[in-house]
Structure 1
Amino acid sequence: MADERPASVFFFAPFVSSTMPIEQGWIDYNGHLNMAYYHVLFDRAVDEAFGIVGLGPDYVAEREATYFAAEVHVRYRRELTLDDRVRVTLQLIDFDEKRVHFYTEIRHALEGWVAATSENLSLHVDATTRRVVPFPDDILDNLAVMRSCHARLPRPADLGRVIGVPRRGGALLREDEPVALAAGGRLRH
C-alpha cells in the first residue's frame, strides 16, 4: 500500500531512472537508435517513477485501474548509438483528479547530455470500463508530495512547444534561403 512506502522516496527531484542500455535490435539502418525506442526508454522510466507513487503493475491488478497516454510531444536532440547507456529524469509538472502532466529527458548516463525530451499528458482510466475516472485519494496524496518536491525545479524550456514549419515574417522560407541551427536548437536565418 502507498502509506507503507517510506516518505523519503518522494524527495528525489527530479526522479532519475535506473541506467538502461541501448539494445542491438533498436539500432536502425542509419546506425543510431530508432525513434520508436526512445519511447520505450521513456516508458520504462515512467513505470519506475509512477511505481513510487503507487501506480505500478500491482495497481492495475489490485484496483483495476491504470493510466493511458493522451498526448506526447517528443524532441530528438542528439543521436544515441549501441554503446550508449542512458538514464531518464522525470519531473511532475501538474495533476488534477484525472490527469497527470509530466516532463522527461533521456540523458547519457556518463556524460549527462540530453538525447531527447518528452512532454506528456496521461489520463487515469478504469481498466474494466476503459473510461477516464478520478484517482483514488491515496494516489492524489502521493502525487501532491511528488509535485511539491518537483515544484522547486526550474520549469523546463521545452514545455508547451508547438510544432510547425518555420516562417519568416509570416511567409514560408524559400527553398534556396539558408537556414542553420543555432545553439539550443533554434532556427537561425
Structure 2
Amino acid sequence: MPEGELYRSAPIAMEKEWIDYNGHLNMAYYNVVFDRGGDEFLAELGFGPKYAAERKLTIYTAEVHICYVQEIHLDHLVTVTSQLIDFDGKRLHTYNEIIHVDGWVAATAEVLSLHVDMNGPKVVPFPDDVLPKLEFYKAAHAKLGIPERVGRSIGIKRK
C-alpha cells in the first residue's frame, strides 16, 4: 500500500441469493460484503486466519454503524476500502466503504473491533509484534483525514 492511500480489497461480485424482492442487495448482505473486504484488511494488519489458528487470538466486531448510500444490484462489482482511524491496546476503530467499480460509494461502515483470546473468549492486549503494522497504517491513514461519516449518531433532530 502506497503511503496515504486506503487499503482496497479484491473485487467482490454479488450473488443471486443476496438480492431481495426489491431487486437490490438485501441490507444483511452489505454486512457480508463489508466482512469479506474487512477480513482482507485485517489479514493485511496481521490478524488473518493463520494468526487465529496459530495464536488462538482474533478480532471480534463490537459495534458497526452502516450508512446505505446507493443501491447495489446483482450485476454490480464492488471493492471495499478500509481506513484505520485509531487503535489502543485492545481495540481497532476502522472506517470502510463499499465502492462500485465505476467509483461511486454504495455504503459506509464505521467499526469498533476487539482483540480477543479465543480460549476465553476474553478481550486481551495486542501482542508487541503486531503493533508496528498498526502504527504504520494509523500514521499513513491519518494523512487522509477523518471521513465525514465517522462519529455519526442516529436520531431524529428536533427543533
Q: TM class by shorter-chain length?
A: over 0.9
1:155: how far off? Answer: 1.2
Extract structure 1 runs of 4+ deviating beyond 3 A: 9-12
Contact 1:10 1:145 in 2 (8 A): no
1-side partners of 2:8 and 2:55: how far apart?
27
| Identity value in percent | 53
Superposed, 1:100-179 pairs within 5 Å as 100-109=92-101, 111-167=102-158, 169=159
Contact 1:97 1:140 in 2 (8 A): no
TM-score w.r.t. length of structure 1:
0.81
The correspondence for 1:49, drawn from 41, 56, 59, is: 41
Instruction: Note the alpha carbon deviations across 1:76-109, whole angstroms, 9 max, x for none.
Output: 0000000110011000000011000000000101
| Residue aligning to 1:85 | 77
Distance 1:10 1:147, change over 3 A: farther
SS at structure 2 position matched to 1:45: helix
The correspondence for 2:53, drawn from 56, 61, 67, is: 61
Contact 1:10 1:146 in 2 (8 A): no
Q: Greater relative contact order (Cα 8 A, min sep 6): structure 1 or 2?
A: 2
1:10: how far off? Answer: 7.0
Contact 1:89 1:105 in 2 (8 A): yes
Asked if 1:34 is matched to 2:3, the reply is no
Distance 1:24 1:12, change over 3 A: farther
1-side partners of 2:129 and 2:69: how far apart?
37
Asked if 1:71 is matched to 2:101, the reply is no
Work out the number of aligned pairs and report it.
159
User: What runs of 5+ residues in structure 2 fail to find an aligned partner?
Assistant: none
TM-score w.r.t. length of structure 2:
0.96
Contact 2:11 2:78 in 1 (8 A): yes
The correspondence for 2:5, drawn from 13, 29, 47, is: 13
Instruction: Give, as a single letter, the amino acid of the residue that structure 1 aligns with 2:144.
Output: L
> Greater CA deviation, 12-21 or 121-130?
12-21
1:166: how far off? Answer: 3.2
Aligned-CA RMSD value: 1.1
Contact 1:10 1:52 in 2 (8 A): no
